[in-house]
Structure 1
Amino acid sequence: MPLPALLRLAFVVLLALRYRLKLILGIVVAVVIGLSLTFISGKIYQHLDRDPDRGAIALEDGAFGESYSTPIYLDQGWSPADTLWYYNTTQGSALLPYDLFVALEQPASEELFRSDHNMDRYRYLPQKPTFFNPDGLPVGFAKDSYQGKDYLGFTCAACHTGQVNYQGQAIRIDGGPALADMDGFLHGLEKALSAARDIPAKRERFIDRVLQRDNDYRSPEAVEADLAQWTEQIRMYNTINHSHIRYGYGRLDAFGRIYNRVLRHVVNREQMRDLLLAAEGPTGELLLTEAEVDRVLAGIEPTLIDDTAFTRIVSRLQSSDEGLPGLSQRNLLRLRNQLLNEPNAPVSYPFLWDITHSDYLQWNGLANNADLGPLGRNVGEVIGVFAKLDWEVKEPGFSLSGHLTGQSNKRERIAFTSSIDLVNLQRLEAHLGRLTSPQWPEDILGEINREQAALGKRLYAQHCQSCHQIIDRSAWDRLVVAEMTDIEILKTDPKAAENSVNYQGKSGNFENTYQNTTVGPLVLEATAPAVQILTSVTKGAVSTPDADKGPLRRTLDWFYVLGLSWFDNDVKYSVKAGDYRPDTTARPYHSLLAYKGRSLNGIWATAPYLHNGSVPTLYDLLLPAREEGDPEEGAYRPEAFQVGSREFDPVKVGFRTEGYEGFTQTTHRLGDRNTGHEYGTDTLTEAERWALVEYLKTL
């Protein structure tokens, strides 16, 4: 080729490369600018609500006769704006249409269900209206908009904000365990919705209130239709999560309920049909005929069963209309136990300070906190608190979620469209990185006896520190190591750990997909461990950009979330510490049969104690549990005590346990037991117990 022609060709190539480089550079600049604007706008927004009281209010004549002044806040590293952003930042939770909730009356009166005193009765914390919370909802309740409609949802703060009262003075504990009765709240909500649906005068007032809001509803018919639908949906949720173990205040079997919510979305119609046909009554008789099963499943889609469809199935199972089985509540629960699992292992809500500095989380160390672990953990939590799971059946073809969940070679794949807000989940996790534990307020709860505490410190080093490390509460580089102890060694109530390993469900479209574990890849069978199915679902949700945004915004936000989640996490993968059964190829989840010991800074503000809240005070924890054959006379942990009061006992360190009609916590049943963790209780003198309690106040 002549030289001029070569020069022209080279010039054309250079122009093309220049154009391509400009295009690539333009895209990179646009992404960087987009991510920067997202970050900056988010930071500005976080500081728009600066109420000096952080929205807290005084309450007169609250539950159990308690009154308290406007709560004060201890120094935990957060400003008023930080606290209010945490209280009101949505995760994608959609418990109920927002207009229905704010208009709802209590079942036996015209007082609103959301009134301060009613919310206080369930031990949710009342708030006044502020910028982020114009309707004055309690701590942890927020408006969440999804697909053009407003919903009431739970935020992290609903379960992880505490309060202690002492002689009329309230102290809010950010990140502390709530004393909430979530199960009682949801049953109360069901009764209130049923009353609004069934009592004409209530229904008329309810419809008027909803329409006056001039928000998501335009006609009485639309309000009535949604009222009927959501009443049945809440009823269905309460029915399938019924447990013979009563939770009471400050406890919830969160994992049992998350498992159930995932399993009922994963099961397909064919698997559901097989289960219904095989369901047996108490004497081995079949509960349903083939004709009844076909009527129950009429019109149900083959691959996915969403909330509406599952609600329809449960309603049909209970209906006595022509051709339907009319199952009793007892037989319905028998059927539940063959499809799902009884959530019968309530645990205390954990405190949140130090979680971003911890290697493993959850009571049994289920959640590895390295890399994208926090995002997966938080996605699972939002699924449990009513994220709308608008999963879709797609044709075969590549998608990131399909690839990560092993569905690439399936005839159909599930796309994990949902209301989960990945951006806010990442921001909330980062926000918690600045939260520190509360320190004992001597000006309110009394001075610490430093001489006793010094003796207690020596005893702590001897009896406690091998599992409960001492950390600098405010050190930015602190690492909290979970010391796992096998349930056979620890001997605390084993039910929560056992359920995490033993609970199973139908795997639906995940059948015969592969999943990596610490001992190698596993195949999900038709009936698989619930923990495997939850892992697949969380992978799918994490790899799915937020559905409620435009294409460019959702893509930029998704890269922003994954980038910050990965690079902003200083926790690296490590093998679990402690004394526990290792995972093996035959038993890949054996290490979960253990509970973790953790740093005890701020432990004074987290009663009741042990993982299942079965011991009311720190002093009681230093006593042995009474076993069969022990003499009746002696110092033992309480076998029954009252729960619900926020009045603090600064001597034994815990909440008031008598003198009021709260929830009676008993300790004789599996799931409620107060046994185990008796290190040193047989050798400590009474004076040494009190010295240890005094030292624990200083942490």
Structure 2
Amino acid sequence: MRAIFLIVVVAISVISCISTNSIDRRVASGDYSYAENGLTGSEASDYWHISEGADVYPYAWIKRLTNTVATVRSPYFTDLDKKYGILREPNYGSYSHIVPWVGLTLAWSDAPEDQADITKEKLQQKGIREEDILNRYQVITGKYGGEVKSIAMVGTNCSACHSSQLNVSGNPIFIEGAGNRLDIRGFFKDMMGSTIKMMLKPAELKVFLESFNYTPTEAEIISNEFVYKFKRDLRLPGFISRGAKRHILGMPEWNQKSRRDSKESPSAEVSPAESAKVQAEQVTADKDLDEYFEHLADPQLNLQEKIAKLVIQKHLLRHRDVVARYLKIMLALTVFKDDPAVRNHQIKNIDLKAVLSLELQARMEYMAKLISGYPETTEALARYGRTDAFGRIGNTVARMHDPNPLTGNVSLPSIWAIQYRDMFHWNGNTNSVLMRNIGQSFGLGAVLIEPDAKDGKKNRATTNFENLNKIENLMYKIEVPQWTKLIGENTIDKSKIELGCNAYIFNCMNCHSSHKKVGPNKELLQYRVFDLRFIGTDPNQAVLQTKLINGLPLRKALFGFTQGVRDQYHADFPEKVSSEGMLKNMEASYQLRGQEVFRDTFLGETEANVKYNLDYVDIQAQSGYAARHLAGVWASAPYLHNDTVVSMKELLTPPEQRLKRFRLDHREYDTQNMGLATFSDQELDVVCSERESACMKVNNSGVKEFYAKMKAGKNVSYKDITGNGDSNLGHNYGTKLSEEEKMSLIEFLKVLEPEREYAWSSGRKYYEIIGSVCKAM
């Protein structure tokens, strides 16, 4: 479908097929306590909530917004666990952060980095009540100097995708650092869809304005004027007929309040017949509008639905500047309603530059991009627990005029055991923690404040470098999840450990272990990236990013962008960069990792890798995926880089026999097969028809043809990618093991120990490997 928005596991008994009558098995998070897994409670709270500078949406709006896009109308900011898989914070209220959802941030716009995060403690110090930030702005000295008007903004940080919960026999267990069962696309889709729909519906907008203490009469007058002018400027078909214009402008309230220009005055009274005709036109147009919003993220559209959607999308895309302008007007009319520059709440009299800072203007322009999307971009359904992060980040910062197809969706990966990992991302393309985190902040919603500036400040960004530094150090502390600690030693079948360990040695260990130390001081663990032709898994994510960006490889275009943002920060804040905390962290990172490099996985090693003798990669011109250590893999289901294999047992099954359809939107775990629990075909039919993003539907179309060309010696490229990224083919390793060996291997992976750099501090030892032989202990 066309892209609309820009822009992110255990039951003691055997679970094979769960009935629909027992409990609600959506992604709702239950009442649970936080079991420390490397982070203390207060550290975890900071990890879940400190801002990366990607605070995209006004807090005053999100607390009032009604979800009008979803099947059931509801306050948008409630039940986020049930609707999108965003986890409710464990032990909420024990710490100072205000928002109760893991991964959601609350920060002041324009604020200096150390003052940005809004906490109960900081509000108390300023004498501000929590309810006040829903109705007021504050005047502050901004991050880049000067006096600015600042408001509370909501966003996300990395923990939304990289903290999870698994249900073991109905008991919720929090797994820090695990990929979440999260519908991040749905979260943003519904937020932006509900916002734009409200802005185009007078009745919805009237209710919204009344919540900002407008009287019903004031709210009705403003909403009618706003919606009429917005639709007029968008040039939406069916909304700008002569009769509709006369009907709207002839409303008594407008005449009484003189809320129109004299040129817009109707030349005569509107007859009842004409009024009825206009109202019928409006009903038809509104019906088309509703159909558009109902099908925003549905790739399976019939012709009529496609037309209804594309008609509106065309206008939103063509008139993105109009969308941005009216978002700014809406912000002025609501949070800044009492500002002197919002004179008499008349749209034509609002001085937007006097009301909104450059950052808030950039935020609204970014929202307009989220709403209007890309021209002619193919997008595959992301589904729960996945996103095409690289595609979206690349499109956001470098490919707006030539976007990549968004068909490279990948699993939200685990982020434990990363401090000594040599390269990051599924295809192992960078060694820089800071650079990947800068890119991530833009993927989540950080923006350039003044990208067209001519004075050398065009790379000034909202990215919060101080918090990125904190988050990086917190991530290093997250431990590999320990089954026996979180689930219990009594759940391990010790009789299977020795056979499983030997199966691991001969079928898994060679690929999923580090055989070499790299980096300046040879402290980093190198994990090999295996050529696609050897593993045979879906090629989309690895290959699509080889498309040139304005004649440049991705490594130069994207890395150049993030370097520009970093260098601008260094120039603006030399005292911060040289401060003890940040400088110490930068020096430690350089000692460990050396010169920052971005390796193009298709074109081979970079010049930097050779020049600085970092010895990070052995491979040359090939594309593929990195094989990570398997400690903690039990908490990472589903499997493969694109989440297309429901359990470890299925991964050990020949590809043609693997399950082709299963649910992604739940947390029930199958301990025997090590993966998500599966459901009956009958229940799948219901769930998949109601919410397609909740289901994985494997699609191997185009993948066999791609590999046939590769094996025939032809030069394949992104132009040969025709599938939607949802293939479960490949990774045939272990499929020929006996049933006993497979089940023993699964049991062994529950107790597999991490590398010594990440060794657990407690727990019994179940095995010992001496050479190529394993003995149970």
TM-score (norm 1): 0.65
Match of 2:538 among 481, 487, 493: 493
Distance in 2 between the 1:252 and 1:241 partners? 19
Taking a change above 3 Å as real, the CA distance of residues 621 and 241 of structure 1, as seen in their structure-2 partners, is farther
- Any idea what SS the aligned residue of 1:571 has? helix
Q: What is the deviation of 1:74?
A: 3.7
Q: What is the deviation of 1:415?
A: 2.9
Matched residue type, 2:731: H
Taking a change above 3 Å as real, the CA distance of residues 150 and 614 of structure 1, as seen in their structure-2 partners, is same
Match of 2:34 among 73, 83, 93: 73
Distance in 2 between the 1:224 and 1:678 partners? 63
Q: Is the 8 A contact 1:68 1:165 kept in 2?
A: no
Counterpart position of 2:511: 467
Counterpart position of 1:529: 553
Taking a change above 3 Å as real, the CA distance of residues 479 and 102 of structure 1, as seen in their structure-2 partners, is same
Q: Is the 8 A contact 1:456 1:695 kept in 2?
A: yes
Taking a change above 3 Å as real, the CA distance of residues 442 and 672 of structure 1, as seen in their structure-2 partners, is same
Distance in 2 between the 1:131 and 1:215 partners? 27
Q: What is the deviation of 1:478?
A: 7.8
Match of 1:418 among 445, 461, 464: 461
- Any idea what SS the aligned residue of 1:356 has? coil
Distance in 1 between the 2:606 and 2:434 partners? 26
Q: Is the 8 A contact 1:70 1:169 kept in 2?
A: no
Match of 2:208 among 198, 206, 224: 206
Q: Superposed, which structure 2 residues align to 1:199-238 within 5 Å?
A: 199-210=201-212, 217-218=337-338, 232-237=368-373
Match status 1:564 vs 2:584: yes
Alignment length (residue pairs)? 502
Distance in 2 between the 1:66 and 1:433 partners? 27
- Any idea what SS the aligned residue of 2:525 has? coil
Distance in 1 between the 2:107 and 2:650 partners? 42
Counterpart position of 2:416: 353
Distance in 2 between the 1:658 and 1:460 partners? 29
Q: Is the 8 A contact 1:358 1:571 kept in 2?
A: no
Matched residue type, 2:732: E
Matched residue type, 1:556: E
Q: What is the deviation of 1:210?
A: 4.7
Matched residue type, 2:575: L
Distance in 2 between the 1:230 and 1:145 partners? 17
- Any idea what SS the aligned residue of 1:103 has? coil
Distance in 2 between the 1:97 and 1:422 partners? 21
Q: Is the 8 A contact 1:99 1:210 kept in 2?
A: no
Distance in 2 between the 1:584 and 1:450 partners? 47
Q: What is the deviation of 1:65?
A: 5.6
Counterpart position of 1:141: 104
Counterpart position of 2:328: none
Match of 1:481 among 526, 537, 548: 526
Match status 1:99 vs 2:60: yes
Distance in 2 between the 1:92 and 1:175 partners? 21
Q: Superposed, which structure 2 residues align to 1:385-464 within 5 Å?
A: 385-393=444-452, 415-441=458-484, 444=487, 447-464=491-508
Q: What is the deviation of 1:479?
A: 4.5
CA-to-partner distance for each residue in 1:624-675, whole Å, 9 max, x for gaps?
A: 101xxxxxxxxx2212222111111111111123244252312224311111
Matched residue type, 1:341: N
The higher-RCO structure (CA 8 Å, 6+ apart) is: 2
CA-to-partner distance for each residue in 1:433-452, whole Å, 9 max, x for gaps?
A: 21101111477476111120
Q: Is the 8 A contact 1:241 1:342 kept in 2?
A: no
CA-to-partner distance for each residue in 1:588-615, whole Å, 9 max, x for gaps?
A: 9965612111111111111111111111
Counterpart position of 1:90: 51
Counterpart position of 1:121: 83
Q: What is the deviation of 1:420?
A: 0.4
- Any idea what SS the aligned residue of 2:542 has? helix
Distance in 1 between the 2:669 and 2:583 partners? 43
Counterpart position of 2:605: 583
Q: Superposed, which structure 2 residues align to 1:151-170 within 5 Å?
A: 151-170=153-172
Q: Is the 8 A contact 1:453 1:694 kept in 2?
A: yes
Distance in 2 between the 1:157 and 1:228 partners? 24
Counterpart position of 1:633: none
Q: What is the deviation of 1:190?
A: 2.5
Counterpart position of 1:13: none
Distance in 2 between the 1:67 and 1:584 partners? 44
Distance in 2 between the 1:190 and 1:61 partners? 34
Distance in 2 between the 1:96 and 1:66 partners? 24
Q: Structure 2 unaligned runs (5+)?
A: 1-20, 111-149, 215-330, 353-360, 516-521, 611-618, 689-693, 702-722, 753-777
Q: Is the 8 A contact 2:503 2:745 kept in 1?
A: yes
Q: Is the 8 A contact 2:163 2:175 kept in 1?
A: yes
Taking a change above 3 Å as real, the CA distance of residues 198 and 582 of structure 1, as seen in their structure-2 partners, is closer
Counterpart position of 1:622: 652
Distance in 2 between the 1:351 and 1:539 partners? 26
Q: What is the deviation of 1:573?
A: 4.8
Distance in 2 between the 1:61 and 1:572 partners? 50
Taking a change above 3 Å as real, the CA distance of residues 93 and 82 of structure 1, as seen in their structure-2 partners, is same
TM-score (norm 2): 0.59
- Any idea what SS the aligned residue of 1:142 has? strand
Q: What is the deviation of 1:528?
A: 2.0
Deviates more, 1:149-158 or 1:168-177: 149-158
Residue identity (%) = 25
Distance in 1 between the 2:108 and 2:23 partners? 32
Taking a change above 3 Å as real, the CA distance of residues 68 and 504 of structure 1, as seen in their structure-2 partners, is closer
Q: What is the deviation of 1:235?
A: 1.3
Distance in 1 between the 2:50 and 2:540 partners? 33
- Any idea what SS the aligned residue of 2:666 has? coil
Counterpart position of 1:342: 405
Counterpart position of 2:310: none
CA-to-partner distance for each residue in 1:284-336, whole Å, 9 max, x for gaps?
A: xxxxxxxxxxxxxxxxxxxxxxxxxxxxxxxxxxxxxxxxxxxxxxxxxxxxx
Distance in 2 between the 1:604 and 1:478 partners? 27
Q: Is the 8 A contact 2:605 2:620 kept in 1?
A: yes
- Any idea what SS the aligned residue of 1:423 has? helix
Distance in 2 between the 1:640 and 1:379 partners? 36
Distance in 2 between the 1:394 and 1:93 partners? 21
- Any idea what SS the aligned residue of 2:650 has? helix
CA RMSD of aligned residues (A): 3.6
Matched residue type, 2:191: L
Match of 2:638 among 608, 622, 647: 608
Distance in 1 between the 2:211 and 2:620 partners? 53
Match status 1:197 vs 2:199: yes
Q: Is the 8 A contact 1:485 1:594 kept in 2?
A: yes
Deviates more, 1:413-422 or 1:600-609: 413-422
Matched residue type, 1:489: F
Distance in 2 between the 1:207 and 1:228 partners? 18
Matched residue type, 2:729: T
Q: What is the deviation of 1:430?
A: 1.2
- Any idea what SS the aligned residue of 2:383 has? coil
CA-to-partner distance for each residue in 1:371-415, whole Å, 9 max, x for gaps?
A: xx211111011111110212445558xxxxxxxxxxxxxxxx663
Deviates more, 1:256-265 or 1:221-230: 221-230
Q: What is the deviation of 1:539?
A: 0.5
Match of 1:541 among 557, 565, 588: 565
Q: What is the deviation of 1:231?
A: 6.3
Match of 1:664 among 695, 699, 708: 695
Q: Is the 8 A contact 2:482 2:751 kept in 1?
A: yes
Q: Is the 8 A contact 1:484 1:576 kept in 2?
A: no
Q: Superposed, which structure 2 residues align to 1:277-296 within 5 Å?
A: none
- Any idea what SS the aligned residue of 2:155 has? strand
Match status 1:252 vs 2:387: yes
Counterpart position of 1:378: 437
Match of 1:689 among 721, 742, 748: 742
Taking a change above 3 Å as real, the CA distance of residues 537 and 90 of structure 1, as seen in their structure-2 partners, is same
Q: Structure 1 unaligned runs (5+)?
A: 1-59, 266-271, 273-338, 397-412, 472-476, 507-526, 627-635
Matched residue type, 1:653: M
